[in-house]
A and B are shown apart, each in its own frame.
Chain A
């Protein structure tokens, strides 16, 4: 079930640049549906990026992060061919994870 996460991790020298897109509604709780009912808040709270067994990046998100959230960051300490593990968990306890090779 790694369908919700798309990642591009590219090594350039000793720095790895990571871009990711996660499929998630990120409902703020302030938007009404077509029937006029408030859509309850449903958003990712934590995203973790790990290289090997080390967390290299953490994102704490609230309901005002855009739908299908995008992230870009870079870190040192990994190289081409290493594996990046990405995982998220949302306010309803749903979660997903995937791994991606560093290109």
Chain B
């Protein structure tokens, strides 16, 4: 166990000390190897947790919390918003088109492929981006990317991917690899007055208590988004949570749809490849 922690710490150090290749040397980037090391670390650290169960975050690693969560999930609190999301998704725009027209397979069962890299624009496109792009294409205003209708529509689209597994691809394009590396670097970089990186909590301290909370392992961390957080009292997107996480380590947060959070989502969701899509989820 100690050896594994040391190994991952070393990995984190590598990222920190600039071993993570800059765009110019992106050819050396090896997401597939990262993925294996990342997933192996958590499998070794939590040998009793079945692989698919990592999508359940803190509930996968703490019995008491799991019991409460199972009771909550008998009638999940996001039920109303999920139903609203379906309605919104199926409602036609003023021009008579609907969300389904913007996506392959009418938008059903495709969430597991997001974020994806758009070779035309050279940008990482999250599901939230794609939903807003669809609105703009059809002459509608963009939605707030954190909560409300956006989170509800995304929740519905994600729910149609249940039973599918995350399948995020990083094409052999220096721009895609640069985005991936930027997300990875962000994940392992310390920031804020508390001087924590994402990894400080979600890798090194995964499964431990942070005051009243159990820290979710980084593997599976984004697999249940959008989530209904008790602390929010409604459903929210990953961008919303990133803002909150950064504020919690007393760092100045970026905008929820900033490029760096897109890159982070790209990295984290790629690390979840192979896990089942489970969103929307609930968290304390």
Contact = CB atoms under 8 A, between A and B. Distances in A.
* In the complex, A touching B (Cβ < 8 A): yes
Interface of A: 3, 6, 8, 19-21, 23, 67-68, 70, 72
Contact of A6 (B74, B80, B233): B80
9 contacts: A3-B80, A19-B75, A20-B75, A68-B77, A70-B74, A70-B75, A70-B77, A72-B74, A72-B75
B79 interface: yes
A37 B75 CA distance: 32
A68 B235 CA distance: 13
Contacts of B233: 67
Contact of B80 (A19, A23, A70): A23
B82 to A, nearest CB: 11
A68 B82 CA distance: 14
A67 B229 CA distance: 12
A20 B233 CA distance: 18
Q: Which 9 A-B pairs have the closest CB atoms?
A: A21-B75, A23-B80, A19-B75, A70-B75, A68-B77, A6-B79, A67-B233, A21-B79, A19-B74
Contacts, number: 23
Q: Which of A19, A67, A68 has the most CB of B within 10 A?
A: A68
Given A21-B80, A67-B233, A72-B74, 4 more contacts: A8-B75, A19-B75, A70-B74, A70-B77
Contacts of B74: 19, 70, 72
A63 B80 CA distance: 21
B155 to A, nearest CB: 15
A8 B75 CA distance: 9
Interface in B66-83: 72, 74-75, 77, 79-80
A19 B72 CA distance: 11
Nearest to B78: A68
Interface string B70-113: 00101101011000000000000000000000000000000000
Contacts of B75: 6, 8, 19-21, 70, 72
Nearest to A7: B75
Contacts of B72: 70
Interface in B259-282: none
A70 to B, nearest CB: 5
A21 B81 CA distance: 12
Contacts of A19: 74-75
Contacts of A21: 75, 77, 79-80
Contacts of B77: 21, 67-68, 70
B240 to A, nearest CB: 16
Contacts of A68: 77, 80
Contacts of A67: 77, 233
Interface string B16-44: 00000000000000000000000000000
Contacts of A3: 80
Contacts of A6: 75, 79-80
Nearest to B76: A21
A23 B79 CA distance: 10
Contacts of A70: 72, 74-75, 77
A20 B75 CA distance: 7
Contacts of A20: 75
Contacts of A72: 74-75
